[in-house]
Every structure is written in C-alpha cells, then in structure tokens.
Amino acid sequence: MKLGLTAYSLAAILNLGLIVCPAALAQQQQPAVPDAPTPQAPPKFSGADGTPITPGKGAGDVTPTGPSSSSTAPADDQAPPSSLAPSTQGKDTFQTTPPELPLPTEGISALTKFVVNVNFVEVPVTVKDSKGKLVAGLTWRDFKVFENDTREPLRLFTVDPAPLSIAFVVDQSLTSDVMANVNNSLGAIQGALTPYDEVAVFSYSHGAQDQSHGFTGAQSARVPFVLSMTKAAGTEEIVPVNSGPLAGCNVRENGNCVDPNLQPGGSAGGGSFMTIPKEIHTLNDAILAAAKELSTRPKGRRRIIYVISDGKEAGSKATYKEVVRYLQTNKIAVYGTAVGSSALWGEGYVSRFHLPFTMYDNRLYGYTVATGGTLDSEQKLNGIEKSYAKIAEEARNQYTLGYLSHQPFIDGKYRKIEVRVDRPGLEVFNKAGYYPNAQDAH
C-alpha cells in the first residue's frame, strides 16, 4: 500500500507539472509590446509667398513680440489656408501683428488696472459720417496713427465704453434770455450719465467758482442741488451810449448816478463823455480750474470738461496757450454746447475768428479742436437738453488707440498726432497733440 500511494503521488506531481510548465513557458516566450510613436508637431501653414501663417493671427511672424503676444485676434482676422491665401499686393503691410484686443469683459472699466510703458500714448478717437452720426464697426486695420508725421504701429485697440469723470462749466455771464434756457436745461444733465460716472460743477462770470467742491457720483441726490446753485439771472443786453446828450447819467438819486460805473467824473469818464465798462468772461480761468480738479482723477477714466457757454473770453488771468498745454499734458478733452450768439447760423462760424484788439467771441471752439472734443450749437431749450445726451454718448463710446512713441520720454516737447481712417466720407476727431507727463511713468 505505501508503495502504491507513493507511485500515485508521484504521478500526480508529474501531471501537475505538465499543466503548469507549458503556461509559464508560453508567458516567457511572449514578445514585448513596442513603444508608441513619438508625437510629431503639426505642419506649419505658409502663404503663397512662403510667409508663415499663424491660426488666428494671419500672415507674419510665428511668435509675435510685444503686448499682442498675450492676446488673440478676432475671428474675422483668421488667415485662410495656404491654397486660398489672398495676394498681399496693393494692401497695407505696415503692421501685420494685431494690437492688444481686450475681451468684451476686459474693456475699460472702473476696476481695470493699466500697466503701461513710459512712452505709451493713448488716443481716444471719435468717427462720424457726413450726417454727424457716430460710425461703429471699424477695426484696427482701418486706423493709421502718425506722431510728428511718423506712422506708429498700434499696440492697443478697444471699443469698450469708458466711465466718465466730467466737470461741467456753466457760463453765468450770458444774456438773461439765453441764461433762462440754460437754467431750465440743467435738470437733463443727470439723465445723460450713468452710475459709473462722476461729476463736478463749476461756474464763471467774473471768476471761476467750484460749486460742488470735488467730484460726486453722477446719480447721487447731491447733483441736482449742486446744479441748482449754478443758476443765475444773466446780464441785460443794452446798447451803451458814450457820446451826445444821453452819454451822461440819466437816472439820478440824491444828485448821484444810480449806477456807480456811469458816475460822471469817476473812472467811467467826465460829464461830457463816458468810458464803456469792459465785458468780463473768464472762460480760460474756469477751464483751468476744472482741469486742475480733473487731473487728480485715477487712470482708466475718461477726463472730460463740458462747457455750456457762448464762448466769449475776456479778463482771464490764465492765457489760452497755458490752459491748452495743461489740458494736453493731463489727457483732458473739452466738449461744449455753444449757446447765444455763437449758436446763430453764420455768426457762429464768423465768431471763431478773432479781430485784433477786440474780445474773443468764441474761444470754446479752439479748446475742442486742440483736445479732441466736439462742439454742438443749440439755441432752444429742447436742443440744449438733447445735446447733453448726445455729447455724453460721443465721449463715452470712442475708439481707443494706443501706441509706443518713438520720441524720447520727458523731453518737454510737443508731439503732434494725426489719425486717419481708410474709408471715404468720414470725419475723425482726436486730440491734436500732447505733452509728455512724468505721472505716466511706471
């Protein structure tokens, strides 16, 4: 029995070996799986002339440099395949790399943080058609910017609206009938603004006065009260007489002239003649006072001075050139609504020209041209009210262009700016130039 059990056990062990050993042997003889192929870079597209094409960028360098390298171009700028690439003959090839194009949610807002180079120049541009309406839908390819007659490539392009820091300047030296319309129209100013805007109010007649004492929210309850403080009776438009029997004082009280300016023997003249008192319209001083307050506003906001006046200037301490330089240095644009004689057809145009040794009849027009603003002429109450909303829309919805100046930084010299649009029948409004500002250094 022991021998039989042993033989049976040996046979079982041998049979198990026959089952296990072939499987193990087969596993050892299985060939190894080869490695996957190394990923290859996709072939680069190229145009008909061999110029590399980057998807979403168009023809040009494969790796662009500058601020545009971190942004993407719009869908309509995507280049076609090489077989369908259009010819570049007859096209503007000055700039092939698009400027920085912020996303719709990354436009200019109150919370936007700007990091700019020391020689970065920002140019707000308004484009109108032959009927005076705003033109939308232009791209960066439609604009050409020249500084001192040298074309500069665009580094920034956006059409997003900007919040306004706007200083209203009201002329209180208007005639009584014109002043009445201005007083009644002031209530429409707040309706042209948004909660993101801020307002300061100034007035002038024989000097500038800050009615609001700083900026306040455009939709705050304080704005109507401040605007009401700028209302005035105006002046009477009387033809002065300085010769003849009526030249003296006709209205007397206790032997003296009621109006001390016409008192015979005084500063106004003697008993046989009268020196006509000079008119005082301190427009330069009022714009300078508003500009000083605006210069403290943070970057990212559009700095606007809105003047409601007939544009007359006489008796200011500040000169026109000094005020314009301050405006162009601090990126402030002047807009306005011309009223009174400056709004009359024909006379409003002639009043822009100055005769020597006379008062400036319309200095406001020169401020708007030099700073890139616009001037609207209105006579009636309804037209004045509509001009507030119209000009606020123009100031808010502009094309914002940016470039890097080739001029040395902070050399104190004036730089001329010219913006052209490659479309016929359009009128472009932008600041005529600027002075470099040390506050722009970062």
Residues 255 and 230 in one domain: no
Structural domain contains residue 13: no
Number of structural domains (the chain) is 3
Give the pLDDT of residue 276. 62
Residues 216 and 108 in one domain: no
Residues 228 and 351 in one domain: yes
Structural domain contains residue 15: no
Structural domain contains residue 45: no
CATH code, domain carrying 169 = 3.40.50.410
Structural domain contains residue 34: no
Distance CA 399, CA 56 (A): 22
Residues 322 and 358 in one domain: yes
Residues 156 and 169 in one domain: no
Give the pLDDT of residue 285. 96
Residues 376 and 322 in one domain: yes
Structural domain contains residue 28: no
Is residue 101 within 8 A of residue 72, CB to CB? The reply is yes
Distance CA 339, CA 125 (A): 25
Residues 198 and 336 in one domain: yes
Task: Name the CA dihedral angle for 82, 88, 93, 96, rounded to a multiple of 10 degrees.
Answer: -20
Distance CA 308, CA 49 (A): 58
Write down the residue that tokens 């309850």 correspond to.
Answer: 221
Of 225, 251, 275, which closes a domain?
275
Residues 156 and 262 in one domain: no
**Model confidence pLDDT, tens digit, residues 320-373:** 999 999 999 999 999 999 998 888 888 778 888 888 878 888 999 999 999 999
Residues 250 and 292 in one domain: no
Residues 134 and 268 in one domain: no
Is residue 169 within 8 A of residue 292, CB to CB? The reply is no
Residues 177 and 291 in one domain: yes
Structural domain contains residue 36: no
Give the pLDDT of residue 410. 72
**Model confidence pLDDT, tens digit, residues 379-404:** 899 999 999 999 988 988 899 999 99
Is residue 287 within 8 A of residue 305, CB to CB? The reply is yes
Contacts of 7 (CB under 8 A, 6+ apart): none
- Mark the ranges of the chain whose per-residue pLDDT is less than 70: 1-37, 39-90, 101-118, 238-277, 439-442
Distance CA 298, CA 153 (A): 27
Residues 219 and 323 in one domain: yes
Structural domain contains residue 349: yes
Structural domain contains residue 1: no
Give the pLDDT of residue 436. 87
The DSSP call for residue 285 is H
Beta strands per DSSP E along 47-153: 52-54, 58-59, 120-128, 143-147, 150-152
Q: For the chain, how big is the Rg over CA atoms in Å? A: 37
Distance CA 17, CA 258 (A): 139
Q: Domain range holding 411? A: 52-79+91-161+397-442
**Model confidence pLDDT, tens digit, residues 100-118:** 766 655 555 544 555 544 6
